[in-house]
Amino acid sequence: MRSLQASTSYTTSLSSAVPSVANYSPRTLHHRHVISAKGEPTEKSVEIMRKFSEQYARRSGTYFCVDKSVTSVVIKGLADHKDTLGAPLCPCRHYDDKAAEAVQGFWNCPCVPMRERKECHCMLFLTTDNDFAGQDQAISLEEIKETTAGM
């Protein structure tokens, strides 16, 4: 698991914006582990998330985006979070604490909004009435590699 020590001294608006900042000791603020999703995910995780996406699209009656690069990027994001956090946390959100969110599970793919209302703001699973929905419920590993080459 890759992690970065965040030793930034950025504190200008922290005290006003975050009510729980008083509970953090200075040590915690300056040495918080920040897990960054910046590297390439492993091919194994990409394959797992690819298969999951295909199965879930079929099961939920949703389709992939007409622009397959969107689908590929999200699948890689899910794979990356699976590698770093152990769970496929939604890559289209910003979190205060990624590890805690992965344990909590609300935003683990398929997230609660998707399971309850078929709302996927990542544009991975699109209902037929969505303008961006394509005809496919399948995507190959080659397609993922091609469309994310150079990212």
Output DSSP code: residue 129.
T
The distance of closest approach from Cβ of residue 92 to other proteins in the complex, given in angstroms and rounded to an integer, is 4
> CB 52 → other proteins: shortest distance, Å?
15
Closest CB to other proteins among 60 and 92?
92
What letter does residue 110 receive in the DSSP assignment?
S
Q: Between 36 and 42, name the residue whose CB sits nearer to other proteins.
A: 36
In angstroms, rounded to a whole number, what is the distance separating the alpha carbons of residues 20 and 50? 38
Q: Give residues in contact with other proteins (CB under 8 A).
A: 6, 8, 10, 13-14, 17-18, 34, 36-38, 65, 67, 69-71, 73-74, 76-78, 80, 91-94, 96, 121-124, 151
List beta partners, residue 73.
Answer: none
Answer yes or no: 65 catalytic: no
Minimum CB separation of residue 86 from other proteins in Å reads 16
Residues 6+ apart with CB under 8 A from 148: 69, 72, 73, 76
Q: Report the alpha-carbon distance of residue 46 to residue 23 in Å, rounded.
A: 38
- The residues annotated as belonging to the active site are 92
